Amino acid sequence: GNSVTQMEGPVTLSEEAFLTINCTYTATGYPSLFWYVQYPGEGLQLLLKATKADDKGSNKGFEATYRKETTSFHLEKGSVQVSDSAVYFCALSVTGGGNKLTFGTGTQLKVEL
């Protein structure tokens, strides 16, 4: 079946630090990969996505590269801000899977001054 594994949190960083949140996946077929962010008290928002191998998704300074050889989609940001504090979810969907998303367990990020 399909599954997503992401690093456990919480992750606590100082402002302007480099961020990496690891995400690996198992899927039948060729999945599309997503990162969603959930700010406190809000719903999930799509942060970025990649639909095929070697694609790089990017948004708001975050980026992730679809690595088929390592089945990974790690999220990175060069310099985090306090406003980036949120829960980040890695997810996948497979073609022919009815557009269903399979989520990882989420990683809480806390950025401090």
Partner 1 sequence: GAVVSQHPSRVICKSGTSVKIECRSLDFQATTMFWYRQFPKQSLMLMATSNEGSKATYEQGVEKDKFLINHASLTLSTLTVTSAHPEDSSFYICSAREAVTDTQYFGPGTRLTVL
Residues in Cβ contact with 68 at an 8 Å cutoff, skipping those fewer than 6 apart:
53, 54
Residues in Cβ contact with 26 at an 8 Å cutoff, skipping those fewer than 6 apart:
1, 2, 3, 4, 5, 71
The binding track of 56-95 with respect to partner 1, each residue x by CB under 8 A or -, is ---------------------------------x------
Using the rule CB under 8 A, is 99 a contact of partner 1?
Answer: yes
Using the rule CB under 8 A, is 40 a contact of partner 1?
Answer: no
Residue from 29, 40, 43, 96 touching partner 1 (CB under 8 A): that is: 43
Residue from 27, 44, 64, 80 touching partner 1 (CB under 8 A): that is: 44
CA 81 vs CA 16, 24, 52, 73, 108: distances in Å: 6, 25, 29, 22, 14
Nearer to partner 1, 43 or 96 (CB): 43
- Nearest distance, CB of residue 47 and partner 1, angstroms: 11
Total of chain residues touching partner 1, rule CB under 8 A: 17
